[in-house]
Amino acid sequence: MSEGHWIAHLGQFNVNVDTVVTMWITMGILIVFAFLATRKMSIIPTKLQAVAEGILGAFVGLTDSMIGKNGRKHIPLLATLFLFILTANLLGQLPWRLYHLKTGELASPTNDINMTAAMAIMVLIYYVYQGVKVKGFKYFLHEFSAVGIIMALIELLEMVVRPF
């Protein structure tokens, strides 16, 4: 146990089990919400269906106003990240410290730098994938090589550091 985290050793790596547990709780809450909101969809929505449609409508409106109609393909990633971070941070507001665990305390998954870095790396991979998909691999490399080797390294560093 270090820094109040419940640590499990997986080969050479240390895994913060408390972060994984609260991450699974967060995912469980979101999956149950999605299941309950969409299991009996109808023209006259239930309360949960209305909430889910409101959240989706907000994301559609936000992406349409900022990115345009082409931005709708990014809604699943943006909405998933937003809802996961929101739910995780709200879980972090619960008084987990009242439950005295012998291994530390449960906290929000976003409290752990490993979780935040993992989400940033996922977004970076998605960003690069979409760039190659839209502009093509030749143009993607051309963007770096046209300005010289030093500027290409600076651009690459900027692209990697930007999510953090």
Q: How confident is the model at residue 25 (pLDDT cuts 50, 70, 90)?
A: very high
Q: How confident is the model at residue 71 (pLDDT cuts 50, 70, 90)?
A: confident
Q: Provide mean pLDDT across the span 2-29.
A: 82
Q: Provide mean pLDDT across the span 14-40.
A: 90
Task: Report the DSSP beta bridge partners of residue 7.
Answer: 16
Q: Is the dihedral of CA 146, 147, 149, 155 positive or negative?
A: negative
Range name among 19-28, 32-41, 93-102 with the lowest pLDDT average: 93-102
135 pLDDT more than 60:
yes
Owner of token pair 């907000």:
58
Sequence-distant (≥ 6) Cβ neighbours of residue 134 within 8 angstroms? none
Q: Provide mean pLDDT across the span 122-129.
A: 88
Sequence-distant (≥ 6) Cβ neighbours of residue 39 within 8 angstroms? none
pTM attached to this predicted model = 0.78
Q: How confident is the model at residue 157 (pLDDT cuts 50, 70, 90)?
A: confident
